[in-house]
Structure 1
Amino acid sequence: MSQDNDDFLQNLSGTQGASVTSLSQLWAKKYVQNLVEIDNVKRGRANTAQGLLYSLRSSGVNAWLVTESMLAREVQRHGIDPGLIDPWEISKDIHDIYKKLLSAYANDVIPRRFSLLISSDLGRIRRKWTKQDPRLISFVSMQFHHTGQELVGSISLKEKILFGEYLKVIDDHLYMPLQRAYEAAANHDYDSPPLAVVRHILPVSTKIAKEICQRVIEVYPNYRSKSGLLSDPSLQISSIRDVEMFQVYLWVCVLEGNMAAIQQELFPLCLMLYPTLRVSWELVRLMLYLMGKKIANLLGQEQATIFKPYFRELWSMFSPEVLPAIES
C-alpha cells in the first residue's frame, strides 16, 4: 500500500476524519430511516385499506339509514317516484367505487391520478341516475358521503387527512357534472369564445370558492346549519365544494348554450337538500352575488358578455321572488 493511501487512512481515523465519517453515517442513517418510514407508511396505508374494506358493507348499511332518514320527507314533498330509488343498486355502485378508492389508497396512487382513473366511472354513475330523474343524484352523493363518514370514524386523524383527499375526488365528481363539462367542451373548437371563458376561470375556481366562503363566514359568523357553524372545518370543505359546484354547472350551461343543466339538475337538487340541511336561501343568494361579481371582475368585458346572460338566469331562479327568505 502506498504512503498516500496510508496517510489517507490515518486521516480517516483522526479527529477530522472521525467528524466526516460521523456526518456521513448520520446522512446514511437518515436516508435508510426515510426508506423505512416510507415502507411503514405504505404498509400502514395497505393495512388501513384492508380494514376499511372489511367494514365497507356495514358502513354502507348504516349510511343508507342516515341518507333515507334525511331525504324521505323530500321524496314525498317533491313527488319523486319511490320505485326509482333502489337502495341496493345505489349501494352497489357506491361499494364498487369505494373498492377502487381503497385500492388506490393502498397502492399510494396520488389523488390527482386517482381522479383521472375514476372520472369515467363516476360520470357513468352520474348519467345512470340523473337519466331516470336528476334528483336521484342526491341519494347517490349523500350515500357516498355518509358511507365515507362511517368509514373514517375508525382511523387516526393523520389517516383521515390523507384519506380525505381521495374522498374529495369522489365527492367532487358526484356533486359536480365534470364529465358533462368535459364532453360539452369537446364539442367546441379550441378558440371558441365560450370555451375560452371556461378555460380562463376554471383553473382558479377553487380559489374563488375559498374566497367566497370566507366572505360568507365574515357576514354570517354565527350561522349554524344542520351540520354546524359555517366556520367548522368540515363544513368549510362542503361549502367550498358547493361554490365550485355552482361554477361547474354554470360553465356547463355556457358550453352547452342553454340552461338545461341548472334547470333540470342543480335547481331541483338545491330545493331538496338545502332546506333539509338548514341552508337558507339568503345565504345562497349572498354566495351567488359574490360569485357573479368575482367572475365578472376576472373576465374581460368581451368575455363577460358571454358569461352574464347565464348568470342572470341563475340569479333569477334563486331570487326572493322565487325562493322567499323565510323557509317553511
Structure 2
Amino acid sequence: EALEPLLLEFQQQHQDTKDRRTLGFLTTQLNFANSLLLNKLTSLEKMLLYPYFKFVEEQAALPWQRVCAAAARHEIGSPSLILVEEMLPVSNLIAQIVYSQLVKKLPNYHSCRGSLRDVEVAHSINRDLNMWLSYLWLCILEESLTPFKEELLILCLMVLTSVGVKWELISTWIKLLSAEVLSRATPNQRLIIEPYLTGIERLFFEKRMHLDADL
C-alpha cells in the first residue's frame, strides 16, 4: 500500500510525457536499477517486490494505453482490430517461445551483459520481445510504421549498441518472431501482418551498420 501512491504518480508522469524515446531510455534504466535492487534482497523480499518492479518497468516499456486508444478508433469487426484482439492474450507466450528458440539457435551468443541464458538477460529479452509485439500491434492499429520507426528503432539502436548486441541476434530475433506471429494468424490475417513485419525487418537492415554487422 505504501508503494501505491508512488506507482500512481509514476504512471501519471509516464502518461504526460511526450518524448517516447525518453520513456524508452527510462525503461533501460529501470531494468538496471531493478536488477541491482533485487540482487540485494532476500528471497522473500524478491517475491513481494518483484511484481511492483515488473509493473513499473512495463508502464514505461509497453504502449498499451496507445494500443487501446488506437483500437477504440476502429469499427467493431475491423479485421485489424480482431487480429490484435486475438494476438494480445498470447503475446507473452509468443515472447517466451521466441526466447527459447533464440537460446537454441544461438547457444554460444554473448553480449556485454552475458549469455542468453543468464537470468537478467532472459528477463530483458522477454520484456523487449513483448515491447516489439506491442509496437507491432500499435502499428497495425494505426496503419503506420511510424511508431516503430520513430520510437522503438531509435531506442533499440541506442540500447543495443551500448551492450554490444550484434546484427546476428537481431536478424535471428526478427525472423523467429515473424514466423511465430504468422504461424498463429489466418491467411487473411497474414496479409495484414506481413507488410509490417517486412517493414520492420527493412528498417533494421538499413541500420545494421550500427549493430556492427558484417553481411
- How does the TM-score come out when normalised to structure 2? 0.88
1:195 and 1:294 mapped to 2: Cα distance? 19
Alpha-carbon RMSD across the aligned residues, in angstroms, is 2.4
- Any idea what the Cα deviations from partners look like across 1:213-257, whole Å, max 9, x if unmatched? 111111111212222111012211111111111010010010011
Pair 1:182–1:323, CA change in 2 (3 A) = same
Question: What is the deviation of 1:327?
Answer: 5.1
Alignment of 1:33-52 (within 5 A): none
Report the residue type matching 1:323 in the other structure: R
2:13 and 2:70 mapped to 1: Cα distance? 18
Instruction: Name 2:13's counterpart in structure 1.
Output: 125
Alignment of 1:246-261 (within 5 A): 246-261=132-147
Alignment of 1:159-308 (within 5 A): 159-308=45-194
Please say if 1:100 is aligned against 2:4.
yes
> Which structure has the larger Rg over C-alpha atoms?
1
Q: How many residues align?
A: 213
2:122 and 2:51 mapped to 1: Cα distance? 15
SS at match of 1:318: helix
1:219 and 1:307 mapped to 2: Cα distance? 24
2:123 and 2:84 mapped to 1: Cα distance? 23
Question: What is the deviation of 1:283?
Answer: 0.6
Pair 1:233–1:143, CA change in 2 (3 A) = closer
Report the residue type matching 2:52 in the other structure: Y
Instruction: Name 1:323's counterpart in structure 2.
Output: 208
Pair 1:153–1:231, CA change in 2 (3 A) = closer
- How does the TM-score come out when normalised to structure 1? 0.60
- Any idea what the Cα deviations from partners look like across 1:122-174, whole Å, max 9, x if unmatched? 3x434544x2x432223322333333334334421232133212211221221
Q: 1:151 aligns with which of 12, 33, 37?
A: 37
Deviates more, 1:158-167 or 1:138-147: 138-147
Pair 1:275–1:184, CA change in 2 (3 A) = same
1:300 and 1:257 mapped to 2: Cα distance? 19
1:224 and 1:209 mapped to 2: Cα distance? 19
List gaps (5 residues or longer) in structure 2. none
